[in-house]
Chain A
Amino acid sequence: MPKYRLRINGSVRTVDSSDADKPLLYVLRGLGLTATKFGCGLGQCGACTVLVDGSAVQSCQTTVANARGKAITTLEGLGSAAKPHPIQTAFIDEQVPQCGYCTSGMIMSAAALLSQKRKPSEGDIRAALDVNLCRCGSHVRAVRAVMAVSGQRG
């Protein structure tokens, strides 16, 4: 079976796949990195968002072959309970998630935005998170968390 070397959360992982088009999402979840969620498999909901070379990418729309050699970061790699990423801390402080199914994708979108723009406007935040659907209505808190982490507390 063809092997793919991937750089995930800072370590090199080799995965077998008979299908070069296997979505990165399935690769990650298969490795036990289940914070990244399956929501639609169609690029419509953002639940599967991860960072690929620092940009927010929908992992259901990226193949294992395309991910080869790139730096992939999932929510697990962003920070840990002991050392959370500031955006994770902000999401906790604002108590953003309800069911939390969308949260991982939202945090990854926000992390990508913050790495490009230190002080995004509220409009920037909404635009960056627009791909992330949430059924529970955690939007207001998510925006507040991104504002807070960039030092823009109202």
Chain B
Amino acid sequence: MNAPVKTQRFSRRALLKGGALTVGFALTGLHKAASAQGAAAVPRVLDNKEVDAFLAVNGDGTVTVFCGKVDLGQGLRIAIPQIAAEELGIGIDKIKFVEGDTALTPNQGRTSGSNGIQRGGMQIRQAAATARKALIDLAAKRLNVAPDDLIANGGEVRPKAGGAGIRFTSLIGDRRFDLKLDPKAPLKDPASYTIVGKPLRRPDVASKCIGTATFVHDFRLPNMQHARVIRPPAIGATLISVDENSIKKFPGVKVVRIKDFLAVVGEDEWTTERAARTLRAQWSDWSGLPAQDRLADTMRADSGSTEQSLVTKGTLVAPQPRNAKKLAASYFWPMQSHGSIGPSCAVADVRADAATIWTASQGMHDNQVTYARFLGLPKDKVRLIYLEGSGCFGMNGHEDAAADAAILSRAVGRPVRVQWSRADEHGWDPKGPPQLLGITGVVGADGQILDWRTDMWIAQTTKGLLNIPLLGPQAAGLDNIVGLNTGLISQNGDPPYAADHIKVVVHWLKEAPLRPAPLRSPGKPANCFAVESFIDELAAAAGIDPIEFRLRSLKNPRGIELIKRVATMMKWQTRPSPGADTNAAVARGRGMSYVHYKHSETFVAMGMEVAVERASGKIKVERVVCAHDCGQIINPDGVRAQVEGSILQTLSRVLLEEVKFDRSRVLSVDWSSYPIMRFSDVPKLDIDLVDRPTEPPLGAGEAACAAVGAALANAVYDAAGVRLRTVPFTPERVKAELNSKAS
């Protein structure tokens, strides 16, 4: 990478001077923990309609950007400052960045749905544009010239014609703008950009490589205790009795029991861990989970589901031509874990009248409401501070671990750090829910889609749910929210191609087997897997090349361009699937898919080259080609990293991942019972980013995920002539398909 600017170490020190108050806020190291805790919050403007909520021009010439969204490794820490610096007209090295602190940053909603830039970033762009206009107006008055004759650049406003300018800091340094975000404030012409669009380095990367980064797992407070929560052996089991004597030999370790909430708390982490493993407790029996081997049938037959028509487009032309072909297929996507490499962890300091919680959660402000509720504190007395975590991709156990820590800190009257175990994380993180789709379609001999109907069976998100029901409060009998949260899992159920008639019906299920939560690109990997696989099935039925088939009925020029780019990169040979040699010992093939994310966001075309080993059933993905258009690119290297991650993580999900359970508990509780992709299986990636500087920037963290399943299934079909409709594509499953095809 050719970064024009050297890595800057944005310290987490947000020195902001508002009026006469000066606040130093530092979280860079363990020894600074106390000052972080003790810092009095400056009366910040937190109203997200105000410029001051997002930006402060400091007396020293720097600008602090306050971002309610958090950097989870996806690069907001550089991309947001790039947007702000560009729009304001100041060097990127002058930007300080403060993220995810309910006392300092405005509520910009959860960092989710790949909307960090698309929405969060655009709010900040608007704030910066409003601020720039205000600075120019201030300077115009002082210089007694028309605002149009001035330009903001390099941290000062100066006459376009040349001559001395006035620094931002002398215009408004240490003072508030007192301005609402102006949606009409003129934005800079992208043609003049010098910062946006550059692959600047992410400021956290160096510290992660040197070993100085502070993850929430590394955060310590004075007088802090370590805790382990003991979850029941069966999901709905209740606690009958605890034998506190069983851990007598572990000095300083105490049992905390609140109803069914059981934990041990101690001074030394390892001693506490051993005590947790040793503690004897008796739990009730419970076996309320559905049978896993019949899960798809149970979902389809659920009599309690409610039906909703999501899409109805066009009219059915009858009678259909005689040579039209009618197809039907079902697709299943299993329950999956967020699979964070670091089990969840949090630190809480809960006092009688206020609480501070350090967490790696994606939803600081939402959590503030939820936690205040079960702690019985006013919302503004609960402060959440974001610290780096292990990539969570939705709601893993972070929210729960933070609730655990808060409950325990209140119980023991000291700061408490809760660290989940590997089995806790795999067993108890809320899961990406299972999805069942049925599709029927009619295709004409010319490849025209005459009719299309998708039925989906998925769990319904409870309306207005800010969070998910949390394990700790639930077990402890504290005020807890009730309901399901799956994210927007019903999108992209209809094809992005022209068809005479399209219908999408969702059968909303009232329950999910295990507590659900959004998992990266919620629902879309499954829906696009089904839709784009079925498109391939229609193409094969019509005897038409898969790309040719798509291009005949795709109208969107941005989509068309991506598909053509993929075809070129793959040197795609136009012919129908499957290929000629499907019975080879190692059958090779190629496939592709196309996604217009949520039908309104990022465009992705993806191609794959695979080898299917007949004897073992093993699929080797040799190459993934991806053309990606997320509109205006803020930081191309950041986008590229997100696309790489989306592809590899979803390949792992498609090839390997399914949470196994019996009637009582999750059985996939470590990396051998829930394997994920390793280095040896990583394919070659060729990513082609299309930058459209004059289009709005769109999310880059999810869209590519949605294209993976079908591209792979279609390539396997092309290679070996078998159609995989159930994820994961394990060797056993592939072998079974190959055998049933052969017989």
Contact = CB atoms under 8 A, between A and B. Distances in A.
A92 B7 CA distance: 9
Contacts of A53: none
A37 B649 contact: no
Contact of B342 (A47, A92, A132): A47
How many A residues touch the partner, as a band? 35 or more
Contacts of B210: 75-76, 79-81, 84, 88
Q: Which of A96, A103, A133, A138 has the most CB of B within 10 A?
A: A133
Nearest to B31: A32
A98 B641 contact: yes
Contacts of A92: 7, 201, 205-206, 209
Given A101-B390, A136-B645, A38 B217 contact: yes
Q: Which of B209, B268, B391 has the most CB of A within 10 A?
A: B209
B622 to A, nearest CB: 14
B80 to A, nearest CB: 16
A30 interface: yes
B342 A37 contact: yes
A79 B212 CA distance: 11
Interface in B638-654: 641, 644-649
Contact of A96 (B205, B422, B680): B205
A102 B500 CA distance: 49
Contacts of B7: 92
A54 interface: no
Interface in B676-694: 676-680, 682, 685
B28 to A, nearest CB: 12
B358 interface: no
Q: Which of A88, A92, A103, A104 has the most CB of B within 10 A?
A: A92
B671 interface: yes
A34 B342 contact: no
A76 to B, nearest CB: 4
Nearest to A139: B682
A50 to B, nearest CB: 11
B278 to A, nearest CB: 12
Interface in A55-83: 74-76, 78-81
Contacts of A129: 679
A84 B209 contact: yes
A98 B74 contact: yes
B685 A140 contact: yes
A99 interface: yes
Interface in A75-122: 75-76, 78-81, 84, 88, 91-104, 107
B687 to A, nearest CB: 10
A101 to B, nearest CB: 4
B248 interface: no
B215 interface: yes
A107 B462 CA distance: 43
A19 B274 contact: yes
Nearest to B208: A100
Given A127-B680, A141-B644, A41 B422 contact: yes
A70 to B, nearest CB: 20
A103 B209 contact: yes
B672 A44 contact: yes
B679 A139 contact: yes
Contacts of A32: 30
B1 A95 contact: yes
Nearest to B342: A101
A6 to B, nearest CB: 15
Contact of A37 (B205, B217, B339): B217
A135 B206 contact: no
Contacts of B342: 37-39, 47, 101
A45 interface: yes
A44 to B, nearest CB: 4
B72 interface: yes
A33 B670 CA distance: 25
Contacts of B202: 95
Q: Which of A47, A96, A137 has the most CB of B within 10 A?
A: A137
Nearest to A128: B679
B187 interface: no
A100 B206 CA distance: 10
Q: Which of B341, B419, B677 has the most CB of A within 10 A?
A: B341
A99 B644 contact: no
Contacts of A138: 641, 644-645
B671 A38 contact: no
A99 B389 contact: yes
B116 interface: no
A137 B651 CA distance: 10
A86 B527 CA distance: 44
B673 to A, nearest CB: 10
A135 B653 CA distance: 11
B211 interface: yes
Contacts of A126: 679-680, 682
B1 A94 contact: yes
A141 B641 contact: yes
B645 A98 contact: yes
A133 B671 contact: yes
14 contacts: A30-B269, A81-B207, A88-B210, A92-B7, A92-B201, A92-B206, A92-B209, A97-B73, A133-B671, A135-B341, A136-B391, A138-B645, A139-B648, A141-B644
Q: Nearest 6 pairs between A and B by C-beta?
A: A35-B211, A100-B208, A137-B648, A137-B645, A98-B73, A99-B73
Interface of A: 17-19, 22-23, 26, 29-30, 32, 34-35, 37-42, 44-45, 47, 74-76, 78-81, 84, 88, 91-104, 107, 125-127, 129-130, 132-143
Given A44-B672, A81-B212, A137-B648, 7 more contacts: A22-B270, A26-B269, A30-B268, A44-B422, A80-B210, A98-B73, A140-B682
